[in-house]
Amino acid sequence: MNCIVMGATMIFVLLAISFVGIIPSESLAQTTNTTTAAGSANATSAGGGGETTVVMPLGSSSATGGQGYEPPTVTVSAGGTVIWDNQDNALHTATSGNPDTATPDGKFDTGLVGANQQSKPVTMPTEPADYVYFCTLHPFLVGTVTVQ
C-alpha cells in the first residue's frame, strides 16, 4: 500500500516538474504578446490626441535593420508629454540634439530605456518647433517631435 502511494507521489512530482518546465515559456510568450498589443494600442490612440507614444521597434539596434522610431514624427501641443516604448531587445534613448555629431542639446532626454520597458512621460519644450532627437547608443536612429 505504501509502495503504491509512493509511486503515485513520484508520478505527481514528475508531472509537476514537467509542467513547471512548460509554463514559463508560455507565460513569457503571452507577456510579450500583451506588451506588443499594448504598444500598438498606444500608437493608435496617439493619433486621436490622447497619450503620445513612440515605439522603438524590435531590431532597431541594427543599423541595417531599417527599423526606426515608429512613428518617426509625432506632433504634440506645447509642453505635452511623449512616452517611448522600447520593444527592442537592446537599450535605447530618445535624446534631442544633433544626430550627425551625436550631440545632445538638453531640450529633452529619456535617458536609457531598457529592453521591453517604457520611458517615463517626457515633457516637451513649450516653444513651437521641430525637435530632432536620436539614440545616443545608435545615432542612426533619428526621430522628430513637432511642438505646435
**Interaction site with Cu ion (CB under 5 A):** 92, 135, 137-138
- Nearer Cβ to Cu ion (80/110): 110
33 Cα distance to chain centroid: 13
Q: Which is nearer to Cu ion, 83 or 92 (CB)?
A: 92
Least Å from the CB of residue 88 to Cu ion: 8
As measured in angstroms, the least distance from the Cβ of 113 to Cu ion is 9
Considering the complex, state which of residue 49 and residue 65 has its C-beta at the smaller distance from Cu ion: 65
Find the shortest distance in angstroms from Cβ 139 to Cu ion. Answer: 8
CB of 99 to Cu ion, least distance (A): 12
